[in-house]
Structure 1
Amino acid sequence: MTLPFEDVQSQAPTLSLSLSRVGVTNVEKVIRIVANGAEQLFYARLDCFVDLGPHQKGAHMSRFEEDVNDAIGEVVLGEAAFRAETLAAHIAEKVRDRQGALRAEVHIEARYPEHKPAPVSGIETQEIYSLLGAAVASASGTRRLIGVRAAGMTACPCAQTAVQARSHERLLDDGFSEDEIARIFEAVPVATHNQRGLGTLHIGCPEDCDTDIDAQWLVRIVEESMSSEIYELMKRSDEGAVVEKAHRRPRFVEDCVREMIRGVVEELDFLTDRHFVSARQENLETIHQHNVQAERFGLLGEVRGEIATGEQSSHHVSLREWLDGAH
C-alpha cells in the first residue's frame, strides 16, 4: 500500500500571518550574460525570494532551484544572452509565477575580468570587478537594478593638511621664503596615509523604463570618484604615477560618494527623475583598526533638486523602499 503524497507546504500554518520574504540564498551558478558589449560566462551567486501568504505553511524551496536552472538554461544554452539585471528580472517573473506569489525578488552578483593598461608602462593588467543585478516582479510590473563594485585608492586630506603644516614650519626654520615653500608644495606631493576603498554604485530602473546602462560606465564613475585607480600589475613607473595621483587628489570617504553621485548626474543625464541611485563607499583604514563608510541613496529627482538648490531633502528613498515600490 502506498500513502498519498501530501503537499506539506500548502497546509495552513499554525499562525495565519504573511511573511515578507522567503527564499534561498547563495545559489552558485555559471551564467552567460552581456557585459561591456560582449557575451561571457561568469561565476555568480544568486538570492531568490517570494512573499508568502498567511494561509500557506511554506514556500516550495525546490522550485526555486528548478526555476533558476530553467531561466539560466535558457540564457546559457539559448541564442541570446541578457544583461545581469535582465536575467534577474527573467528569473523573478518565473519564480513569482511558479510559486503563486504576489511578488518575487532576485539578486545576482557575478565576478568578471576587465583588461586595462597600466598608466605609464601600458602593460596590460587584468582587474576583477563585481557586476550586480537585481529585480522585483510584482503586479505593477518588474523593477530592475544594475550595479557594480570596484576597488580603488584614497588619500586622507586631514592627515595631509597636518603633515603640510609641520613641513611648512620646518621649511621656514630652514630659511625658505613663503614663495619658495609654495613652489615646493606645488612640485612635491605632501605625504598622507592612504587606504584601499570599495565603491558600490546602483542604478534602479522603474517598471515602465527600458533603460540601457552599460556596466562599464558605472565602473568608470566609481573608479574616478576615488583618489586613484589601482592596478594588479604595475611597473615602478606605474606605482609612482598611482601614488602621486592619489596624493594630489586627497578625498574623504564622503567625497567619494559625492563624486559618484556627480558622475551619475553629469554623465548619465538621460536618466529620469524617477530612476533610483545608490552610492556607497567603504575605506579599509590603515592607521586605525576600524573602517569608515559613507552612503547616499534616493530618487534621482531628489538628488538633482538638492544639488540645484542646496536644500537638504526631507527624506532619502532607500533601496528597500524603492524595491518594494513605495516610490
Structure 2
Amino acid sequence: MQGLPDTQNEPDHREIVIDRVGIRELRYPARYVGADEEQSTVAKYEMTVELPAHLKGTHMSRFVEALHDFKEPLSGASLARLTESLASRLQAERAYIGCEFTIFRKKEAPVSRMESLMDYELGMEYRYSTKEESQLFLSVQIPVATLCPCSKAISERGAHNQRGVVTISVEASTDLTFEELIELAESSASCELYAGLKRSDEKAVTERAYDQPVFVEDLARNVAVKLKSHQGIMWYRVEAENFESIHHHNAYAMIEA
C-alpha cells in the first residue's frame, strides 16, 4: 500500500482555487434530541471544503470517515464541531457541511387530548473558516392552516380555508432550537395542524381558524415580526405559501432581512 501513488496530492498549475469540492447526496443514520425525546432519523448530507490552487484534488474518502466517526446527536453545536473536524482532516481553511432530515413532534388534540405525531423537514448548514467568522444556518418547513379574511368578510356562510406551509431560514446562534421556530410559525397562522383529530377537536380547530383569519401576507409578516425580535437570529427569510382551496394556484409571500 505504501507504493500506491497519491494522485490527489499532485500539484496543479492552473492557479485556480476551487471554492467547494466534496460529496453530495450522502444519506447516513442520525439522531436528533428535541423537546420530547431522542429520535432516530436519516439525514442527507453535503460536505465540501475549499481546495487551494496548488493541489490537484481532495481526499473524498475522508469526508465519509469524518461522518462515520461522528457520534453526537444532530444540533447546531455538534454540526459545528463536525465541520471543524472535517477542515482539520483535510487541512482546509474553509469547510461546509449541510444536512436535511425529518423529525416528528408529539402533539395533543385541543379537546380530546388524542396524541399523534407531526412531521417537519429540517435543514442545517455550518460554514467554517479560519479567516472569517463561522456561520450557522437553520431551515424548517412548518405546515399550517389559514382562513381568508376577505372571504370571511364578504360571505354569509363560512369562509374558504386551506393548508399552507411556512419555510423559515435563519442565520442563528448555536443555541437556537428548531422547536422555537416551529412554535413561532404555528402561532402566526389561523390554526396549527394535527395528524389526529376527533369530532370535538375538528369543531375547535375550525372555529379557531375562523376567529383568526390571515392572508398569506399576514402570515409572512406575523412570522417576520417574531424573527426580527429574536436576539439569537442575525438574518432571516420567511416564505409563506397557501395551497388555495378555491383557486387553481398557490398564494405566496416572502420576506428577507
Do these two structures clear the TM 0.5 threshold for a shared fold by scoring above it?
Answer: yes
- 1:156-235 matches, within 5 Å, as 156-161=148-153, 163-164=154-155, 167=156, 190-192=158-160, 194-205=161-172, 212-235=175-198
Pairwise CA RMSD: 2.6
Could you tell me which residue of structure 2 aligns to residue 271 of structure 1?
Answer: 232
Distance 1:129 1:56 in 2: 41
Which SS does the other structure have where 2:200 is aligned? helix
Which SS does the other structure have where 2:107 is aligned? strand
- Indicate how the Cα distance of structure 1 residues 13 and 226 shifts in structure 2: closer, same or farther if over 3 A, else same: farther
Q: How many residues align?
A: 256
Deviation at 1:237, TM superposition (A): 2.0
Deviation at 1:3, TM superposition (A): 10
Is 1:133 aligned with 2:133? no
Could you tell me which residue of structure 2 aligns to residue 120 of structure 1?
Answer: 111
The answer to which structure has the higher helix fraction is 1
- 1:137-152 matches, within 5 Å, as 137-139=128-130, 140-152=132-144
So what's the TM-score if we normalise by structure 2?
A: 0.86
Which SS does the other structure have where 2:191 is aligned? coil
Larger Rg: 1
Letter in 2 for 1:51: E
State whether residues 26 and 46 of structure 1, in contact with CA within 8 Å, keep that contact through their aligned partners in structure 2: yes
Consecutive aligned runs of 4 or more in structure 1 exceeding 4 Å deviation:
none
What are the Cα deviations for residues 98-148 of structure 1, in whole angstroms up to 9, with x where unaligned? 222221111122212211111222111111123332211101343223343
Distance 1:99 1:12 in 2: 16
Deviation at 1:63, TM superposition (A): 1.6
Is 1:293 aligned with 2:252? yes
Most deviating of 143-152 and 113-122: 143-152
Could you tell me which residue of structure 2 aligns to residue 311 of structure 1?
Answer: none
| Overall identity of the aligned pairs, in % | 31
So what's the TM-score if we normalise by structure 1?
A: 0.69
Question: Which structure 1 segments of 5+ residues have no match?
Answer: 76-80, 168-187, 299-327
Question: Which structure 2 segments of 5+ residues have no match?
Answer: none
Distance 1:255 1:134 in 2: 29
State whether residues 84 and 108 of structure 1, in contact with CA within 8 Å, keep that contact through their aligned partners in structure 2: no
Which SS does the other structure have where 2:69 is aligned? helix
Letter in 2 for 1:271: G
Letter in 2 for 1:219: I
Distance 1:19 1:286 in 2: 47
Could you tell me which residue of structure 1 aligns to residue 241 of structure 2?
Answer: 282
Distance 2:146 2:248 in 1: 17
Distance 1:58 1:283 in 2: 45
